[in-house]
Structure 1
Amino acid sequence: MKKILEVKDLQISFDTYAGKVQAIRNVSFDLNEGETLAIVGESGSGKSVTTRSIMKLLSSNANIENGQILFNGEDLVNKTEKEMQKIRGKEIAMIFQDPMTSLDPTMPIGKQVAESLLIHTELTKKEAMASALRLLEMVGIPNAEERLNHYPHQFSGGQRQRIVIAIALICNPQIIIADEPTTALDVTIQAQILELLKDIQLKIKSSIIFITHDLGVVANIADRVAVMYGGKIIEVGTSEEIFYNPQHPYTWGLLGSMPTLEGGEERLYAIPGSPPDLLNPPKGDAFYPRNDFALKIDKELQPPFFEVSPTHKAATWLLAPQAPKVTPPAEIQRRWDKFRNDQQAAKVAATEKEEPTVVDIATARQKMA
C-alpha cells in the first residue's frame, strides 16, 4: 500500500509568556492511500497541533523545531505560504469542529462550497455552482437547489456540518483531516456524519485523518489508531488491535472511560491526575505520575516503542522482557467486555438492516442477551 503522508520526528514548540511549551515531541506516523487513521487522546495531548502542522495553519508563536512532513514525497515544512495555498483545499482539506466558526455568516452556502473550485480550477462560476449543488445533494442537504442561496444560520447544526464537509470535499482532496467533526452533535446526527464520511471516502478514494478524544467514535470508522499523550504517540495499531489488545495503561484508561449502551448507574472510569506540564516536560515517561503500574525506570527514562505485532507497537516499559506481567483493572476489563458486546450488536444490526441506527443497535443487544 502506497504511503501518501509521512510525518518524521516532528517537534513543535510555542513561545508563551510563561516560557516555551514543548507541544509536540518527536512524533512520527504515516498515512496510506485510502486509509482512515484516527488520532485519539485527551484534550491537550497534541492531536490538533500535529494535524494543523500538516496544513501549516499554526499560530504565529509556533515553531517547527525539527522533523519532516512528507506529502507525496515533498516536505511541507519547507513550503512557503504561497505554495501551501495551492495545496490547502485542493490536495489536503480540513473539516473543523465547529461549523459556525468555519462558515462565513454573510455568504450564501452555495458560494462558500463553490469557492475552492473557483480558486483552484479554471471552471466558470456556473460550472462551479453546478458542482456545489451535486455535492450538497451527495452530503444529504434536502432541497439543495432551493437552499443554495440560504445562509448558515438557516440550517441546523447537523446540516451545517454537512456543508462544511462539502466544502472540504469539493476539490476531491487526497487527504481529509477531520478535527473532532462530530463533538458538538447529538449521538444520532454523530452516527449519520460518521457514516457519511465513510461513504464519501469510498466514492472519492481519499485518505482521512480523524482526530477525536473519544475512542468509541472511531471504533467502526478507523483502519488504524494512534494514541497520543503528552505531545507524543504512545501506541499505534490497527483498530482491532487497539480495541481488543491494548498494551499501554493510558489506552486502557481511555477505553475504560467510554460509556456503553447499557448505561445504568455504574460510574465511568476516570484516569487519575492531570496531563503533564509541557513547559517542563518530564524526564521519563510522561504518563508515569498517573500510571498505577509504573516502574522505577519510568521516572528516569522515556520508553522506546516495543513491537507487539508488525502493525502494533506501544511505548511502555511494561512490554520490556524483564518487566512484570500486569493486567488491566477489573473495572476497566468489565467495560471493555461491554464495549465489545456493543460492537457485536452493531454487526448483528448491520446484517438485519442496511443502515442501522443507534436504536437498531440497542435492540440487537437485547436480542443477544
Structure 2
Amino acid sequence: MTENILEVNHLEINFHTYAGDVKAIRDVSFHLAKGETLAIVGESGSGKSVTTKSLMGLLANNAEVMGGEILYHGEDLLKKSEKQMEGIRGKDIATIFQDPMTSLDPTMRIGRQIAEPLMKHKHFKKEKAMAQALEILKLVGITDAERRFKDYPHQFSGGQRQRIVIAISLVCYPEILIADEPTTALDVTIQAQILELMKELQSKIETSIIFITHDLGVVAGMADRVAVMYAGRIIEYGTVDEVFYNPQHPYTWGLLNSMPTLDSEHLYAIPGTPPDLLDPPKGDAFAARNDYAMKIDTEQQPPFFDVSPTHAAATWLLHPDAPKVTPPVEIQRRYKIFSEQQETKIKANQNLAEG
C-alpha cells in the first residue's frame, strides 16, 4: 500500500473582512501519496491557492484556520511555530509560484538565488552550494549554464525564468512540491515544455507534486489523481482517467466542456458566477448554475457518493432515487480530441529535445 505523506482533514479557513467573515475553505479533505501528482482544479476563487498556502503556513494576516488538521508524516503543521515552519518551507515542502518575475529578486544574480536554500536549510558552505546550484541549473535545461549563472533575472526570457524558479524550488530535493499555476504566464509551447520538465524532474528526485490550475486540460497528461474544487469545497475526486472519462459532478462537466480544442467552433463558458462566500448557500453551492439541479440541491449540502474505491463526487444526482442524467456527449468528444493533441505535443517536444 502506498504511503500517504500528507493528509488534510476537514480544513476550514475564514478571512476576516470589514463586510464579515468570508468562508474561503469549507471542510476540505484530501491526501497525497509518496511520488504521486495530485491536481487541484477549479475556477479562480474556488479556494485552490488558499488551501496550498495553508500547507506552507503562508496565509494572509486576516485569515484564520477555524478547524481541521494538516498532517505531514503524522505531525500537524497547523500546530507548528513560525520558526519550525521556516525549517520546513523550501526544504521539505517547496512552492513554484505563478509569476516567475515576481518570484525572483531582480537585484541578485540567479546563481546566488538558487544556492541560498542550500546555505539556509542544509548549511552548505558557499562554494559547495554554488556548485550544486550550477548542477540544478543545468538539470532544468538552461543552456550555457556556466556563463548564465552570474546573470540577473531580467536577462532571461519568461520560460527561462520559470525554469530558474523550478531550480530554486527543487535544489533541496523537497518531498512535496506545490506548483501554483506555474505555466499560466507562459505561451502554449513553453507551457508544454515546462510541464514535461516537471514530470522528468519528478522521476529523478522522487518528489510528490500538488499541481494547482484552473485548466483541466493542463493536467490531462500530468496528474495521477484530480480533486475538483468549487466555492471552497472539493466536490469530486478520482484518478485522472476517472475524472476525465467518467465525470459525475455537473461542475466537472462544465469544466471539461470549456476546454478549447483545435476544431472548437465556439468557446463554452459555465453560465452564472460562483456564490458569495460571506453567506454560502445552504445546499449545493453549484445549484444556481446547474441545469440538472433538483429541489434538494437548494436545501441540503450533498454528501460524497462513491463511484469506485478511488472516485467520489458530492452531487445529489448520484443518490439512488435521483433521475438518471448522463454528461453531454460533447465532453467525451472534446476529451478525445484534446488527448490526441496533448500526445502530439509531447512527442514533438521529445523529438525537439533529442534532435
Q: TM-score, normalised by structure 1?
A: 0.93
Structure 1 residue aligned with 2:294: 295
Structure 2 residue aligned with 1:125: 126
Cα distance in structure 1, aligned partners of 2:340 and 2:331:
14
Please say if 1:157 is aligned against 2:158: yes
Structure 2 residue aligned with 1:274: 273
SS of the equivalent of 1:328 reads coil
Change (3 A) 1:43 1:342: closer
Structure 1 residue aligned with 2:336: 340
Contact 1:25 1:231 in 2 (8 A): yes
Structure 2 residue aligned with 1:328: 327
Cα distance in structure 2, aligned partners of 1:353 and 1:220:
14
Contact 2:225 2:238 in 1 (8 A): yes
Contact 2:259 2:334 in 1 (8 A): no
How far apart are 1:338 and its partner, in Å? 3.1
Cα distance in structure 1, aligned partners of 2:194 and 2:343:
19
Change (3 A) 1:276 1:136: same
Kindly report which structure 2 residues correspond to 1:105-184, keeping only aligned pairs within 5 A, or say none. Answer: 105-184=106-185
SS of the equivalent of 1:355 reads helix
Structure 2 residue aligned with 1:364: none
How far apart are 1:345 and its partner, in Å? 5.3
Cα distance in structure 2, aligned partners of 1:313 and 1:356:
38
Structure 2 residue aligned with 1:33: 34
Change (3 A) 1:212 1:122: same
Residue type of the alignment partner of 1:76: L
Kindly report which structure 2 residues correspond to 1:209-358, keeping only aligned pairs within 5 A, or say none. Answer: 209-263=210-264, 266-329=265-328, 333-344=329-340, 346-347=342-343, 355=350
Cα distance in structure 2, aligned partners of 1:2 and 1:98:
32
Cα distance in structure 1, aligned partners of 2:108 and 2:199:
29
Task: Provide the alpha-carbon RMSD of the alignment.
Answer: 1.3
Residue type of the alignment partner of 1:336: Q
Cα distance in structure 2, aligned partners of 1:281 and 1:317:
18
How far apart are 1:347 and its partner, in Å? 4.3
Structure 2 residue aligned with 1:188: 189
Count of aligned residue pairs for this structure pair: 351
How far apart are 1:339 and its partner, in Å? 2.5
Cα distance in structure 2, aligned partners of 1:78 and 1:267:
49
Residue type of the alignment partner of 1:314: A
Give structure 1 regions of 4+ aligned residues with deviation exceeding 6 angstroms. none
SS of the equivalent of 2:113 reads helix
Contact 1:114 1:132 in 2 (8 A): yes
SS of the equivalent of 2:29 reads strand
Structure 1 residue aligned with 2:50: 49
Contact 1:349 1:356 in 2 (8 A): no
Contact 2:303 2:315 in 1 (8 A): yes
Change (3 A) 1:323 1:335: closer
How far apart are 1:149 and its partner, in Å? 1.1
How far apart are 1:327 and its partner, in Å? 1.9
Provide, for residues 283-311 of structure 1, a one-character-per-residue CA deviation record: whole Å limited to 9, x for no partner.
00000100000010000000000000000
Residue type of the alignment partner of 2:261: T
Q: Which moved more, 1:340-349 or 1:206-215?
A: 340-349
Residue type of the alignment partner of 1:171: C
Cα distance in structure 2, aligned partners of 1:47 and 1:347:
27
How far apart are 1:348 and its partner, in Å? 6.7
Structure 2 residue aligned with 1:360: none
Cα distance in structure 1, aligned partners of 2:276 and 2:140:
41
Provide, for residues 232-261 of structure 1, a one-character-per-residue CA deviation record: whole Å limited to 9, x for no partner.
000000000000000000000000000013
How far apart are 1:356 and its partner, in Å? 5.6
Unaligned runs of 5+ in 2: none
Residue type of the alignment partner of 1:232: R
Cα distance in structure 2, aligned partners of 1:272 and 1:307:
27
Cα distance in structure 2, aligned partners of 1:279 and 1:48:
18
Cα distance in structure 1, aligned partners of 2:303 and 2:125:
54
Structure 2 residue aligned with 1:203: 204
